Amino acid sequence: MTIRVGIVGISGFGGGEAMRLVASHPSFELVYAAGEGSAGSRLADRFPGVPARLADLVIEKWDPATLPKLDLLFASLPTGASAEALARVPAGTKIVDIGGDHRYVEGWAYGLADVWPDRIAGQSRIANPGCFPAAVLTALAPLLANGLVEPGNIVIDAKTGISGAGRGGGDSRFGYAESNENLVPYGLLRHVHMPEMATTIQRLSGGSADGLVFTPHLVPMTRGVLATIYCRGRATTEHCLDAARRFYAGRAFVRVTDRPPQTRWATGSNLAFVSYAADPERNLVIAMGVVDNLGKGAAGQAVQNANLICGLPETAGLDSAPVWP
Ligand SMILES: NC(=O)C1=CN([C@@H]2O[C@H](COP(=O)(O)OP(=O)(O)OC[C@H]3O[C@@H](n4cnc5c(N)ncnc54)[C@H](OP(=O)(O)O)[C@@H]3O)[C@@H](O)[C@H]2O)C=CC1
Ligand SMILES: CC(=O)N[C@@H](CCC(=O)OP(=O)(O)O)C(=O)O
């Protein structure tokens, strides 16, 4: 079975990673690419290393009215830029939105693929989680589902590579001279990922996430997210590790590790690494989650979600090992 796939936002970091994964997917055929400023270029002009069979595909100006017949569309547009246009995509075309416009929006399933695949299979509109929630929620889910930590008392300290900001980049914080040898906190108290993390914590635990604190930091690396999460709970380290091993038993993409995970373990892959350290006497549980922001944090999880909604093996096109070193 060949699935006809389109990618809008293909010139960007998320869209480019989706293209890389789609190009080597056993059931997907890339037949449509779209964007704004890049419209009119061939894929090979943007990505000199693209497989030869895709080299001459021309990036079209994004307009849902001129879509060819597609089975599946990946949207990787700036948050705020996709809702209106995606509403005009025919119902028969499945969509995975990598941007933030549809997370916990009516009619869209929140695509936390490793945690609730059953809620995703059979849907046709998927909102991919943000890159920080991908790391944070994967680490927290086993603890919350087993009542091992208090949902209302969670403090998240997270680090991200610069590609998390996209090619568009925004201001000069993301240039080499300002990001190299520098460490920058941002988004304090009101980062855009807070609502989806709070809602998911409530869904997994049944309790309120009112006390949630989240501070991300830019670090001078290209890819990777590490979330270190401080929680209140009386569990031991072994309880937490056991809960995670049981929760993710048989799941392909989550690795539960005894030692603290490192960002490079996930680079270029759809893997998530989780680990825990806990001291019951101090009422303290530390959870750690690592993903590649462009892998599990964006295009990897998007392809995993696409596999789920297309009835394909969840691992199709996603089984290559991370890049090391
Ligand atoms: N980078 C990351 O790690 C992650 C990103 N995301 C989300 O994914 C989305 C894309 O991010 P990212 O790839 O990093 O961003 P980039 O800035 O790298 O890419 C943005 C893409 O959107 C296209 N675009 C912008 N405006 C329009 C428009 N009006 N019509 C059509 N295409 C448009 C650009 O195309 P063109 O060049 O042709 O103008 C470009 O391909 C965002 O919502 C982001 O928040 C989610 C998780 C992780
Ligand atoms: C470094 C950096 O700026 N990272 C982005 C997160 C990327 C992401 O997950 O974006 P969406 O939720 O918009 O899809 C940020 O903190 O907003």
Do the first three CATH levels of 3-129+297-309 and 131-293 match, i.e. the same topology? no
According to CATH, the superfamily of the domain at 3-129+297-309 is NAD(P)-binding Rossmann-like Domain (3.40.50.720)
Between the CA of 15 and the centroid of ligand 1 the distance, in Å, is: 7
pLDDT above 70 (res 170): no
Q: What pLDDT is stored for residue 175 in this prediction? A: 87
Between the CA of 99 and the centroid of ligand 2 the distance, in Å, is: 9
Neighbour-count burial of 317, counting CB atoms closer than 10 A to its CB (0-12 exposed, 13-18 middle, 19+ buried):
buried
Tell me the average pLDDT across 231-249: 98
Tell me the average pLDDT across 159-186: 88
Between the CA of 223 and the centroid of ligand 2 the distance, in Å, is: 12
106, HSE (Cβ side, Cα atoms, 13 Å): 0
- For residue 150, the tally of other CB atoms under 10 A from its CB is 20
| Test site for ligand 1: of 46, 76, 95, most ligand atoms within 8 A of the Cβ | 76
- The answer to whether residues 68 and 32 touch, using CB atoms and an 8 Å cutoff, is yes
- Report long-range pairs for 43-51 (Cβ below 8 Å, ≥24 apart): 43/10, 43/19, 46/10, 46/11, 46/16, 47/16, 47/19, 50/19, 50/23, 51/23
| Test site for ligand 1: of 98, 137, 174, most ligand atoms within 8 A of the Cβ | 98
In tens, the pLDDT along 33-63 reads 999 999 999 999 999 999 999 999 999 999 9
In tens, the pLDDT along 188-214 reads 999 999 999 999 999 999 999 999 999
163, HSE (Cβ side, Cα atoms, 13 Å): 22
Q: What pLDDT is stored for residue 115 in this prediction? A: 98
* Pocket lining for ligand 1, CB < 6 angstroms: 9-15, 35-38, 62, 76-79, 81, 98-100, 130-131, 163-164, 166-168, 293-294, 297-298
Between the CA of 69 and the centroid of ligand 2 the distance, in Å, is: 31
Q: How far is CA 316 from CA 27, 213, 296, 312, in A?
A: 8, 36, 14, 7
Neighbour-count burial of 237, counting CB atoms closer than 10 A to its CB (0-12 exposed, 13-18 middle, 19+ buried):
middle
| Test site for ligand 2: of 160, 178, 225, most ligand atoms within 8 A of the Cβ | 160
Of ligand 2's listed atoms, the one at least distance from the Cα of 130 is 9
In tens, the pLDDT along 55-105 reads 999 999 999 999 999 999 999 999 999 999 999 999 999 999 999 999 999
- Chain-wide mean pLDDT for the chain? 97
Q: What class is the 131-293 domain?
A: alpha beta
As a whole number of Å, the end-to-end CA separation of the chain is 36
Between the CA of 295 and the centroid of ligand 2 the distance, in Å, is: 13
Q: What pLDDT is stored for residue 208 in this prediction? A: 98
In tens, the pLDDT along 173-190 reads 788 989 999 999 999 999
The number of the ligand nearest the C-alpha atom of 14 reads 1
- Laid out side by side, the sheet with 184-185 consists of 184-185, 213-218, 155-160, 225-232, 284-291, 272-279, 254-256
Q: Name the pLDDT band for 31 (thresholds 50, 70, 90).
A: very high
Q: Using omega within 30 degrees of 0 as the cis cutoff, is the peptide bond preceding 322 cis?
A: no
Instruction: Sketch the domain layout of the chain as residue ranges.
Output: 3-129+297-309, 131-293
pLDDT above 90 (res 168): no
